[in-house]
Structure 1
Amino acid sequence: MSKSIAIIGAGIGGLTLAIDLQRKGMDVQIYEQTTVLKEVGAAVALSANATRFYEQRFGLAEQLGEKWAEVDGLIFRDGVTGEQIARLSSRKEYRERYGAPYTGIHRADLQAILFSALDPDSLHLSKRVIDIDDTGHKAQLTFADGGHAEADLVIGADGARSLTRRLLLGYDDARYSGCSAARGIVAPELLPSLPDSQAIQFWMGPGGHLLHYPIGNGDQNFFLVKRESLPWSEKGWVVAAEDKSHIEPFAHWDPAVIEMISAVPVHEKWALFYRPPLTHWTQGRVTLIGDAAHATVPHHGQGANQSIEDAIVLSDMLSQSDDWDYARAEYERRRRFRTRKVVDASVTVGEMFHLPNGARAQERNARLAAPNAFDRHLDWIHSFRADEEIPEAPVVGS
């Protein structure tokens, strides 16, 4: 009898893992707590370290090409003056260099395309896991509706607020990054002042930044980040916000910024949390992937991309060895240093974006404007091939 796998969470990482395992003939069931398949958040930027698998391994290039926008380079600007500090790469240069695109796509569109590649009978909605019992001959999941399911292996792909991680650790270890964010999607006709609408852009300034990029229908997805100290541990990850309250701290910024962040209503504020690195992501029959294993802040735009990398490596390891304990240990070995480096870099780059005016900000701008800036600061992220490369740097405590 073949061994069974239960995946908790039908987000990007969980769906990617399920598709790849099913294509290898493995018995996979996905349990999702929502009543309909939907992603939290508006859109996602996918870089070549992830898109190459969707295009080349999954054969989804045509379907995705209809829904995503290939961004035309990465631009850094002064948020107050609007001055372009640096433009790194272009659509053509990027694809030629990495063999895959850098894109923006609405999460709902990506999820729908991934679902079309999945065995539809393997997805179970309205199944919120409340407990995992790993003491018997198989791991048993208990759901809020009173139901149960068994599996030889449980994969926690349930995101940054992972219940699976809390069950493994016995506590919630989320850390507030010192930043909150507002987000929205804006139609292009509402942005007459926006320069370089096809690029992914960071507008940087003291205490905050604006990130935005196009998605497949031409809309702009924006993510406005403000540095602030609030008692988020008491308030929760997402809180109600009075519309237009997010605009005031940026009222003196460039008109194109104000135009974008005031174009649509914003009624929520998101706290940006991350997780401290774990030495191991496995306990008994339970293993973590994606944000459940290594949630990060979004300043490098790598949360979804790292989930996809995890899914590819874990799928390859499980399909290459009947010894799933060894396969999971090897998966962790191949992923720990890479993901720790991404988490650390993402936290650090947020601090760099928010520097006050002065010598340090001028030094930052000079580094970004240098001819080899992409090679020095970003190539290590975008060029990585998760199915081929094994980071060799040691992990403290391993």
Structure 2
Amino acid sequence: MGLDTMKIAVIGAGIGGLAVAQALARRGADVTVFEQASEIAEVGAGLQISPNGARVLDALGLGAELRQRAVMARTVQLCDYRGGEVVRLDLGDTGQGGYHFLHRADLINLLANGARAAGVRIRLLQRIIGVTDGRRPRVELANGAGFDADLVIGADGLHSVVRAALNGPRAPFFTGQVAWRALVPNSAERGPEVRVHMGPIRHVVSYPLRGGSMLNLVAVQERAAWTAESWSQTDDPQSLRAAFGDFCDEVQGMLAAVDKVNLWGLFRHEVARAWHGEGLAILGDAAHPTLPFMAQGACLALEDGWVLAAALDEEGDVAKGLVRYQALRESRARRVVAAASTNAWKYHLAFPPLRWAAHTALRAGGRLAPSRMIRQFDWIYGYNAIDAVGQPVNDG
């Protein structure tokens, strides 16, 4: 069955859902996106699009608009929480292409406009209560209606209805970390760099957005207590300031400007065992939710969307296309998720001699082999989803 004869339902109008919808519609499929919110909007937060994600946006015809809206990142600076640079890395040394700082809402708008221009229908206020697998899968809506399709794609996040249908119900687990996020004015006129202040069991990431007019802040703390997983839960800014009260003056200046802050617990499922059934598939956080410590959640969803559409198109058969999609994507997703899960400890060393030794090693590496330090993640940033369908299936 060619894509030009397929009727496809996508659940969720987030980054992965809108990307796969556009990729499929551009190949001739009849695509409808179901979104439970009343509008396509994102809460105020920033994200990073590294070269692997930008390649997908370029292929979707959205690259020029990405670069118009984004701040192009130039460097990564790791700092001690008490002040002082540990190491500075030039992103130009990677040779992989541009790194982009982007407001999440800007990326969602870009993808939504691209999807609509490709002919995708986006239906709002559509709460999904269940899906049925089979050669003719069905979406069940809370209003009592149903929608039959040739393929149903779950891009519905951590609490995915489609993931549960494929893998059984299982609650995500709390990782022992919470994160605050906020936007503040860039009053210090910070340039286009990521800055990470590393302290005992905590760190703060900051980088500019929207032409450099504001800074995106993400502050992470290890915590034994369970915290509700939610992107919309707010917190008192004073709680954030108290948690990082011993950090340096630069961090205090940024935190003093926070007047609204969201707090969420960092939760994960294991990478899904089954990414597809007979007529169901999942992608993005529904398949492999990842912690934010490699800034790859959005990029993995973009990669998934492109590869799923390309595999279905190349194979010309739903069953073969879905098998190829999981085979191409699973090992890479597992490797990125594992890297993100183990990266936080590097920022959170609490034992002073260990922290001193680690920072000394970072300084030496930055002085003696800066290119090697930044290029250790070439396997992430150099990945090309556009060419992936033609590669061996286990190439992570």
CA 1:385–1:366: 2 relative to 1, 3 Å: farther
Contact residue 75 and residue 84 of structure 1 kept, 8 A? yes
Q: What residue in structure 1 maps to residue 312 of structure 2?
A: 318
Contact residue 44 and residue 104 of structure 2 kept, 8 A? yes
TM-superposed deviation, 1:41: 5.2
What is the letter of the counterpart of residue 108 of structure 1? A
Q: What residue in structure 2 maps to residue 76 of structure 1?
A: 78
What is the letter of the counterpart of residue 59 of structure 1? G
**Equivalent residue in structure 1 for 2:102, among 99, 102, 105:** 105
What is the letter of the counterpart of residue 223 of structure 1? V
TM-superposed deviation, 1:160: 2.1
**1:142-162 alpha-carbon deviations (Å, 9 max, x no partner):** 112222211111110011232
Contact residue 237 and residue 258 of structure 2 kept, 8 A? no
Contact residue 11 and residue 35 of structure 2 kept, 8 A? yes
RMSD of aligned alpha carbons? 2.1
TM-superposed deviation, 1:394: 9.2
TM-superposed deviation, 1:267: 4.7
Q: What residue in structure 2 maps to residue 379 of structure 1?
A: 378
What is the letter of the counterpart of residue 310 of structure 1? D
TM-superposed deviation, 1:186: 1.1
Share of identical aligned residues, percent?
30
Contact residue 173 and residue 276 of structure 1 kept, 8 A? no
Cα distance in 1, alignment partners of residues 362 and 276 from structure 2? 39
Matches within 5 A, 1:161-240: 161-189=159-187, 192=188, 196-218=190-212, 219-232=214-227, 235-237=228-230, 239-240=233-234
What is the letter of the counterpart of residue 387 of structure 2? E
**Equivalent residue in structure 1 for 2:262, among 268, 272, 287:** 268
What is the letter of the counterpart of residue 302 of structure 2? I
TM-superposed deviation, 1:279: 2.7
Describe the SS at the equivalent of 1:308.
helix
Matches within 5 A, 1:86-97: 86-90=87-91, 92-94=92-94, 97=95
Cα distance in 1, alignment partners of residues 198 and 54 from structure 2? 27
Cα distance in 1, alignment partners of residues 160 and 258 from structure 2? 30
CA 1:156–1:226: 2 relative to 1, 3 Å: same
Across the two proteins, how many residue pairs are aligned to each other?
381
TM-superposed deviation, 1:173: 3.3
What is the letter of the counterpart of residue 168 of structure 1? L
Contact residue 211 and residue 224 of structure 1 kept, 8 A? yes
Please state if 1:130 is matched with 2:100: no
Q: What residue in structure 1 maps to residue 51 of structure 2?
A: 48
Structure 1: which 5+ runs fail to align?
A: none
Moved more, 356-365 or 268-277: 356-365
Structure 2: which 5+ runs fail to align?
A: none
**Equivalent residue in structure 1 for 2:24, among 2, 21, 42:** 21
TM-superposed deviation, 1:47: 0.2
Cα distance in 2, alignment partners of residues 385 and 84 from structure 1? 33
Describe the SS at the equivalent of 1:33.
coil
Describe the SS at the equivalent of 1:118.
helix
Q: What residue in structure 2 maps to residue 116 of structure 1?
A: 113
